[in-house]
């Protein structure tokens, strides 16, 4: 067992940190307040190979793996949580799913664009009445000749307002429940696709979110991923991957909170000394640093297991749960350390506080992950049951 990052991954970390601090940081506050999605930055990330870690070279990727991707996500989220969402919505959503389950035609058509940043993808599973209970979705896809006719609504879809394609889950045989669900790639410019932006949300302001309505949308038969009825299994596998990106993003936010808290505590003076000299502040900082390092190690372990091809649903849930809760704890402590300044928009901790809450909700709420972990421990339902 070794905890040292290989030199190649250390180089990736340095490149990502330099990019985040030189390209994202100078305009991060302005972009966030303007709710501005920076497609130009996504393209630059694509040029640097950030979006191709889990895609082979023949389709525009670099095959560096999940741990490399995790490091990239952490460094981007450390500066701007909104921008890291591209890794989940695009790379670990449609890109890797097309690579695993799509036809050669779909791979050639979409993967080079998704890995270069020329195309932006999203995935659509959540519906107004189907969140944690994915199998409760009502979207339907009916085969008619060479096309599936897609009808239904999706809600809270990250990047939907700017996406070029979507990975969409819908029932092809609702009588079979989860075994009747299928997965499709849908061109967002197709007739019958209506997107509405959700403009008012608590955080991650520079990452657009929207609802999608499909009204007799014609999806080519060749855009089916895998086989009919395989959609639920594909969906669960995809969530195992996007949850890793959420865990890594939460680690990045937690680290940003530590950086901000330490910088403030060592310069802000009260009662004739820096507030960092007070034991209550030191207690908070100690908790933040220790729990963030624990979250990082849990997340890196999950990524390592993915690179090995070992079943890792349990480890990924542990990472996602702990990292999400840690990010929120760190954001709370960082804001308290900044006191009134933290409650204002003058310092970045207000943004960290808003953005951190997101991680307790997406890719399975913290309660969902507690269920996965506890049922595995109790023997009711093994998380890594394919092992």
Per-residue model confidence (pLDDT) at position 2:
80
| Identified catalytic residue from 74, 75, 127, 363 | 363
pLDDT tens digits for range 208-250: 999 999 999 999 999 999 999 999 999 999 999 999 999 999 9
- H or E element in which residue 109 lies: helix 104-116
Give the whole-number percent of the chain exceeding pLDDT 90: 95
Q: Do 252 and 77 meet the contact criterion of CB atoms below 8 Å apart?
A: yes
Beta strands in the chain (DSSP E): 121-124, 140-144, 147-158, 165-171, 181-187, 193-197, 209-220, 224-225, 269-270, 273-274
pTM of the model: 0.96
**Strand 121-124 and strand 165-171: pairing?**
parallel
Nearest-angstrom CA–CA distance, 323 and 328? 9
pLDDT tens digits for range 67-106: 999 999 999 999 999 999 999 999 999 999 999 999 999 9
127 is catalytic: no
Q: Do 89 and 73 meet the contact criterion of CB atoms below 8 Å apart?
A: no
pLDDT tens digits for range 345-357: 999 999 999 999 9
With a CB cutoff of 8 Å and minimum separation 6, the contacts of 145 are none
pLDDT tens digits for range 10-67: 999 999 999 999 999 999 999 999 999 999 999 999 999 999 999 999 999 999 999 9
Q: Which CATH number fits domain 7-119: 3.20.20.70, 1.10.540.10, 1.10.580.10, 1.20.1370.10?
A: 1.10.540.10
What is the end-to-end Cα distance of the chain in Å, rounded?
Answer: 21
Name the residue ranges covered by the structural domains of the chain.
7-119, 122-229, 232-378
Burial class (CB in 10 A: 0-12, 13-18, 19+), 66: buried
Per-residue model confidence (pLDDT) at position 386:
56
Per-residue model confidence (pLDDT) at position 131:
83
Q: Which two tokens stand for residue 197?
A: 């932006």
Query: The domain at 122-229 falls in which architecture?
Result: Beta Barrel (2.40)
Per-residue model confidence (pLDDT) at position 239:
94
pLDDT tens digits for range 163-216: 999 999 999 999 998 899 999 999 999 999 999 999 899 999 999 999 999 999
Query: The domain at 232-378 falls in which architecture?
Result: Up-down Bundle (1.20)
Does the pLDDT value for residue 387 go beyond 50? Answer: no
């Amino acid at each position: 067992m070794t905890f040292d990052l290989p030199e190649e991954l250390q180089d990736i970390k340095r490149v990502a940190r330099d990019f985040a601090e030189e390209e994202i940081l100078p305009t991060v506050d302005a972009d966030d307040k303007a709710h501005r999605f920076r497609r130009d930055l996504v393209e630059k990330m694509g040029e640097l190979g950030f979006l191709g870690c889990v895609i082979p070279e023949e389709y525009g990727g670099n095959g560096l793996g999940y741990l490399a991707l995790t490091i990239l996500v952490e460094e981007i989220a450390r500066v701007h949580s909104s921008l890291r969402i591209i890794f989940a919505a695009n790379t670990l959503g449609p890109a890797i799913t097309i690579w695993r389950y799509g036809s050669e035609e779909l791979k050639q058509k979409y993967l080079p664009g998704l890995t270069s940043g020329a195309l932006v993808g999203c995935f659509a599973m959540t519906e107004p009445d189907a969140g944690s209970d994915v199998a409760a979705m009502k979207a339907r896809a009916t085969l008619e000749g060479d096309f599936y006719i897609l009808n239904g609504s999706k809600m809270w879809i990250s990047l939907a307002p700017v996406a070029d394609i979507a990975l969409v889950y819908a029932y092809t045989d609702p009588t079979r429940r989860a075994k009747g669900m299928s997965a499709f790639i849908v061109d967002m410019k197709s007739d019958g696709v209506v997107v509405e932006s959700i403009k008012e949300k608590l955080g991650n302001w520079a990452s657009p979110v929207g609802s999608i309505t499909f009204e007799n949308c014609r999806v080519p038969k060749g855009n089916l991923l895998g086989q009919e009825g395989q959609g639920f299994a594909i969906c669960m596998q995809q969530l195992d991957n996007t949850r890793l990106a959420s865990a890594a993003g939460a680690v990045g936010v937690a680290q940003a909170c530590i950086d901000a808290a330490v910088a403030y505590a060592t310069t802000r003076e009260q009662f004739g000394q820096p507030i960092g000299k007070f034991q209550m502040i030191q207690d908070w900082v100690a908790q933040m640093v220790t729990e963030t390092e624990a979250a990082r190690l849990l997340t890196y372990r999950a990524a390592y297991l993915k690179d090995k091809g070992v079943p890792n649903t349990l480890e990924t849930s542990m990472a996602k749960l702990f990292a999400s809760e840690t990010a929120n704890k760190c954001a709370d402590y960082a804001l308290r350390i900044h006191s009134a300044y933290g409650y204002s928009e003058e310092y970045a901790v207000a943004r960290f506080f808003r953005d951190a809450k997101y991680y307790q909700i997406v890719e399975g709420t913290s309660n969902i992950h507690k269920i996965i972990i506890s049922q595995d421990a109790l023997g009711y339902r093994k998380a890594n049951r394919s092992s």
